[in-house]
């Protein structure tokens, strides 16, 4: 994936060198000579990845990284820190600031390109989610990015696939401080455990005895159930080629043995945060789609859902010759409740009304709020007699006990009128059936309310 790489360094020759290297690999580059400029470029959404020098006058690289990772607008941009000194403490400080990786100057080309490509590819998938989240914010649906960026990356479910008992104990011990860890020595069992569990991360030894750990990584990246789970390879110095291969096919990160305890914790946390960032965005999108077919007050389906589903039930060939019934329920004298006790009392009644109706219908029935105080119930496979009996039972249950309003300080008697109709062979659309049910409802109201009227075709 091509991408715009932002190079941040206060020394011009360093910028130039990286620009040339990346340009030859067909990356687009931008440059910033200090932290504030770098942050401004990221906030404007002008880059896909940041190569960030640690030592800069004014705001140093750690601070720049921290600010980028704590800002919902920039938290998704991968940051690779670049340092002249390979002090473990620096490395750790960068990872703790949220950096995705750490490269040492002079920068090794393979390491640089492999890492940049891998991070850019992973970002491409998240970007699609992020675009949807931005769109949802633009139309006023709240801001999932803020929640997503606030994720701590702690308290995760982690799978550790390692068959050296000593190493497994040490790593599991360190991780258990903040996470729940499952250790698995056998790669085949590991796949099963991973597919059946809900892991936020898997750490996988490349040197499992008798098994190529990288193959396990590839399988976990391929299976539907596990491809969303980030992977960290645990490698030896001689595993360079396999590390590059792994990053190339979608493994997220790696740790070199002997594994530094703090680096382990920092890298694990970064991956967990990344995964949860995506999960939160997906969840928000799912919730917003759910909202589009749900009535906010009662939690019932809304009219849009009813129209969609009834349309499908009417058009499906297999459903055409099966019976179907519809009830339209309307609370009697609902306006008087609103006018006398206020809208909040009216809302209480509507919610409780919806609950009672739901309690007396089956899971396969569609229960939808149709309008103000009206509910429609669609009963697949029900004939007129059965539908009438169900309507009668609901009518009776509404009347049976008064409705609590105004924080349960007052009880209101409520009744409901119900029109019932069944589908006819020559109905052209669901509207025909509903119209007959509506006529039944009208008669029920005219006949004195609190009654059920079934309308023959």
Contact 249, 218 (CB under 8 A): yes
What gap in Å lies between CA 114 and CA 245, rounded to an integer? 9
Q: Measure the CA–CA gap between 98 and 382, rounded to whole angstroms.
A: 59
Q: Which is nearer to its own copies, 312 or 389 (CB)?
A: 312
Binding region for its own copies (CB under 8 A) out of 72-80, 82-90, 290-298, 385-393: 290-298
- To the query of whether residue 374 is one of the catalytic residues in this protein, the response is no
Closest to its own copies by CB, 269 or 274: 274
Q: For its own copies, which is the closer residue by CB, 42 or 171?
A: 42
139 interacts with its own copies by CB under 8 A? yes
Quick check: 301 binds its own copies (CB under 8 A)?
Answer: yes
Tell me the C-alpha distance between 54 and 92, whole Å. 12
Q: How far is it, in rounded angstroms, from Cα 218 to Cα 369?
A: 48
Question: What SS3 class is residue 85?
Answer: coil
Using the 8-state DSSP alphabet, how is residue 238 labeled?
G
Q: Alpha-carbon distance 429 to 310, whole Å?
A: 9
- Of the pair 176, 308, the CB lying nearest its own copies is at 308
Window contacting its own copies (CB under 8 A); options: 263-271, 284-292, 314-322, 384-392: 284-292
Among 85, 188, 241, 289, binds its own copies (CB under 8 A): 289
Structure tokens at 241: 């080629």
Q: Which of 1, 130, 104, 127 is nearest to 51 (CA)?
A: 104
The answer to whether the beta carbons of residues 371 and 335 sit under 8 Å apart is no
Tokens of 5: 């790489």
Work out whether 291 is an interface residue with its own copies (CB under 8 A): yes
Cα dist from 449 to 189, 355, 393, 442, whole Å: 65, 21, 15, 9
- Annotated catalytic residue, options 25, 63, 373, 386: 373
N residues, the chain: 457
Q: Could you tell me the smallest distance in angstroms from the CB atom of residue 81 to its own copies?
A: 22
Q: Does 103 bind its own copies (CB under 8 A)?
A: no
Q: Which two tokens stand for residue 293?
A: 């077919």
The answer to whether residue 161 forms part of the interface with its own copies (CB under 8 A) is: no
Q: Which stretch binds its own copies (CB under 8 A): 98-106, 218-226, 375-383, 384-392?
A: 218-226
* 105 is a contact residue toward its own copies (CB under 8 A): no
Residue among 59, 103, 111, 141 that touches its own copies (CB under 8 A): 141
* Tokens read off for 186: 């056998």
Residues forming the site for its own copies (CB under 8 A):
1-4, 26-28, 45, 48, 121, 124-125, 128-129, 131-132, 135-136, 139-142, 214-215, 217-219, 221-222, 224, 245, 249-250, 282, 285-286, 288-293, 296-297, 301-305, 308-309, 335, 339, 342-343, 371-373, 438, 445
List the catalytic residues: 373
């Amino acid at each position: 994936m091509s991408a715009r790489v932002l190079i941040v360094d206060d020394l011009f020759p360093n910028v130039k060198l990286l620009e040339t290297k990346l340009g030859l690999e067909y990356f687009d580059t931008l440059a910033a000579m200090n932290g504030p400029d770098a942050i401004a470029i990221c906030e404007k959404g002008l880059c896909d990845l940041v190569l960030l020098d640690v030592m800069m006058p004014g705001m140093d690289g750690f601070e720049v990284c921290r600010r980028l990772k704590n800002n919902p607008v920039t938290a998704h941009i991968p940051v690779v820190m670049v340092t002249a000194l390979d002090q473990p403490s620096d490395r750790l400080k960068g990872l703790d600031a949220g950096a995705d990786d750490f490269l040492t100057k002079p920068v090794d080309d393979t390491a640089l390109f492999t890492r940049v490509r891998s991070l850019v590819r992973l970002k491409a998938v998240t970007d699609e989610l992020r675009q949807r989240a931005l769109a949802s914010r633009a139309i006023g649906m709240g801001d999932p990015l803020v929640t997503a960026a606030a994720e701590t990356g702690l308290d995760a479910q982690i799978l550790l696939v390692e068959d050296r008992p000593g190493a497994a104990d040490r790593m599991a011990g360190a991780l258990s401080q903040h996470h729940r860890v499952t250790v698995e020595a056998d790669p085949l069992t590991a796949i099963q455990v991973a597919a059946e569990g809900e892991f936020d991360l898997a750490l996988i030894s490349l040197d499992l005895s008798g098994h190529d750990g990288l193959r396990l990584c590839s399988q976990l990246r391929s299976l539907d159930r596990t491809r969303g789970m980030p992977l960290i390879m645990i490698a030896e110095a001689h595993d360079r080629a396999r590390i590059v291969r792994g990053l190339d096919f979608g493994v997220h990160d790696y740790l070199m043995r002997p594994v530094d305890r703090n680096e382990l914790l920092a890298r694990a946390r970064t991956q967990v945060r990344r995964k949860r960032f995506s999960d939160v965005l997906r969840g928000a999108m799912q919730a917003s789609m759910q909202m589009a077919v749900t009535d906010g007050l009662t939690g019932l389906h809304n009219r849009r859902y009813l129209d969609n589903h009834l349309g499908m039930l009417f058009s499906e060939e297999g459903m055409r010759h099966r019976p179907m019934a519809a009830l339209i329920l309307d609370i009697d004298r609902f306006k008087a409740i609103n006018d006398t006790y206020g809208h909040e009392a009216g809302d209480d009644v509507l919610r409780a009304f919806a609950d009672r109706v739901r309690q007396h219908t089956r899971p396969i029935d569609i229960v939808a709020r149709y309008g103000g105080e009206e509910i429609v119930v669609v009963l697949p496979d029900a004939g007129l007699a059965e539908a009438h009996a169900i309507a009668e039972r609901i009518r009776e249950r509404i009347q049976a006990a008064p409705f609590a309003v105004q924080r349960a300080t007052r009880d209101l008697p409520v009744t409901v009128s119900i029109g019932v109709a069944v589908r006819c062979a020559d109905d052209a659309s669901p509207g025909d059936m509903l119209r007959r049910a509506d006529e039944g409802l009208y008669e029920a109201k005219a006949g004195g309310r609190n009654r059920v009227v079934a309308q023959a075709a």
